[in-house]
């Protein structure tokens, strides 16, 4: 599937692909993309069933990785967060010739119990035809989601004018077991890989490191202090600086 892309930076600069996570879009990475565009040709994508990209009944990681392969015009650094991190790992394991250096933000190649089905249900729980402002939608979401930052993140995908979510909520709900899972996949990625976590997040634990190293032999680990799962939104400058240091390291 052809993905919607946002591209910035010099045409002759090293390529960097940014792959957002579940419910995310290219615009969520706009600040970091802009800053990294000083020395990289940065492409940020909307994943299938997200943003302005097409919808499909298949939301498997094989399909997501295939979309990324079709987006790349040649070898590229690849940065993926959460669901996008898993898709990026599958791409690196199955098409290593397309990935120069890999950055995986706050996710591991393991199955999780962290279902996000409750967020899908919250977004589907009210009648969009009765909503005229984003603040009205926020008030309704607040009945089911306490965290203001999570609501603000989800509301970036709400098109108030057209009364719709820019998310294929039905498919994402149905495919949630695949999204939080990890496919049966073999192979190894022999190039440098950075696993970057939020220090306050529990998505990448010491117990997941053996599995990471089994698939990514040159894995390195770093964490961002005072950041949770959405580390790029909470600490954009620190995340950008860490990414930059890894990509320019000899």
Active-site residue 82, yes or no?
yes
Alpha-carbon distance 32 to 14, whole Å?
A: 16
Among 50, 77, 81, 229, the active-site one is 229
Q: How many helices (H) and strands (E) does the chain have?
A: 11, 9
* Token reading at 139: 């008030």
Out of 154, 172, 190, pick the residue that ends a domain: 172
Say yes or no: 10 and 97 in one domain: yes
> Active site residue: 170, 188, 217, 226, which one?
170
Domain count, the chain: 2
Regarding whether 10 and 89 lie in a shared domain, the answer is yes
Q: List the CATH number of the domain containing 85.
A: 3.40.50.1820
pLDDT tens digits, 153-212: 999 999 999 999 999 999 999 999 999 999 999 889 999 999 999 999 999 999 999 999
Same domain, 22 and 97: yes
Q: Each residue of 63-108: pLDDT tens digit?
A: 999 999 999 999 999 999 999 999 999 999 999 999 999 999 999 9
115: confidence class by pLDDT, cuts 50, 70, 90: confident
> Within this chain, do residues 142 and 92 fall inside the same structural domain, yes or no?
no
Look up residue 50 and give its DSSP letter. B
Q: Do 126 and 57 share a structural domain? A: no
User: Do 134 and 160 touch, CB atoms closer than 8 A?
Assistant: yes
100 and 122 in a single domain? The answer is: no
DSSP 78-143: EEEETHHHHHHHHHHHH-GGGEEEEEEES--SS--S---HHHHHHHHSS-GGG--SHHHHHHHHTT
Lowest mean pLDDT among 107-111, 144-148, 166-170: 144-148
Domain enclosing residue 73, as ranges: 5-112+181-248
């Amino acid at each position: 599937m052809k993905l919607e892309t946002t591209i910035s930076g010099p045409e002759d600069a090293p390529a960097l692909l940014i792959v957002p996570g579940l419910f995310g879009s290219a615009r969520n990475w706009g600040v970091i993309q802009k800053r990294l565009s000083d020395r990289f040709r940065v492409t940020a994508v909307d994943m299938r069933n997200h943003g302005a990209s097409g919808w499909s009944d298949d939301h498997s990681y094989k399909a997501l990785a295939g979309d990324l392969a079709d987006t790349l015009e040649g070898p590229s650094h690849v940065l993926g967060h959460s669901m996008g991190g898993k898709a990026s790992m599958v791409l690196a394991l199955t098409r290593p010739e397309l990935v120069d250096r890999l950055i995986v933000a706050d996710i591991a190649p393991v199955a999780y119990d962290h279902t996000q089905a409750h967020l899908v249900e919250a977004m589907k729980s009210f009648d969009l035809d009765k909503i005229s402002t984003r603040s009205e939608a926020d008030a309704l979401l607040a009945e089911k989601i306490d965290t203001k930052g999570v609501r603000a993140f989800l509301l970036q995908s709400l098109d108030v004018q057209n009364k719709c979510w820019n998310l294929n909520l039905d498919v994402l709900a149905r495919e949630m077991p695949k999204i939080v899972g990890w496919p049966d996949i073999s192979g190894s990625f022999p190039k440098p890989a950075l696993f970057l976590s939020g220090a306050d997040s529990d998505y990448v634990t010491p117990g997941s490191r053996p599995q990471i190293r089994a698939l990514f032999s040159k894995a390195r680990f770093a964490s961002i202090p005072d950041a949770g799962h959405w580390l790029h939104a909470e600490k954009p400058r620190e995340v950008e600086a860490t990414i930059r240091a890894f990509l320019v390291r000899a």
